[in-house]
Structure 1
């Protein structure tokens, strides 16, 4: 009898975290809640913001800091 009670208690302890992760059902809120309103996009403000972005002076190199640039080779090597 003692082994049966211990087995049931062990299963209950193992099942508790699993039910907590699964959500255990819906609490609060309903499935038919209205969708939140999206803010309207102002095209003039968007285009004005794009015009204010400065153009880069040199091309961006994402791998620039990984390895040093190879040394430029001068005239063809003579034997």
Structure 2
């Protein structure tokens, strides 16, 4: 009888931890879908307006410039 109780307790702990990792299957459908659809349109306009305000750079940006030496001057042949 004692072995059965220990086995049941181990099984219950295993199931509880697996359920905690998987979320328990309580997924709710997106309520108020109309609200979510109208908001990205406003954000898209703001994003495009912000992109237009960024000035054009005259030289290319090199993020690895500090990690490698600059290119040596080309030697004439």
**1:16 corresponds to:** 16
**1:69 corresponds to:** 70
Structure in which a larger fraction of residues adopt helix:
2
Task: Give the TM-score of the pair, scaled to structure 1.
Answer: 0.60
Task: Give the TM-score of the pair, scaled to structure 2.
Answer: 0.61
Residues 20-31 of structure 1: pairs in structure 2 closer than 5 A = 20-26=20-26, 31=29
**RMSD of aligned Cα (Å):** 3.2
Residues paired across the two proteins, number = 72
Considering only CA atoms, is the larger Rg found in Structure 1 or Structure 2? 1
Cα separation, partners in 2 of 1:64 and 1:5, compared to 1, 3 Å: same
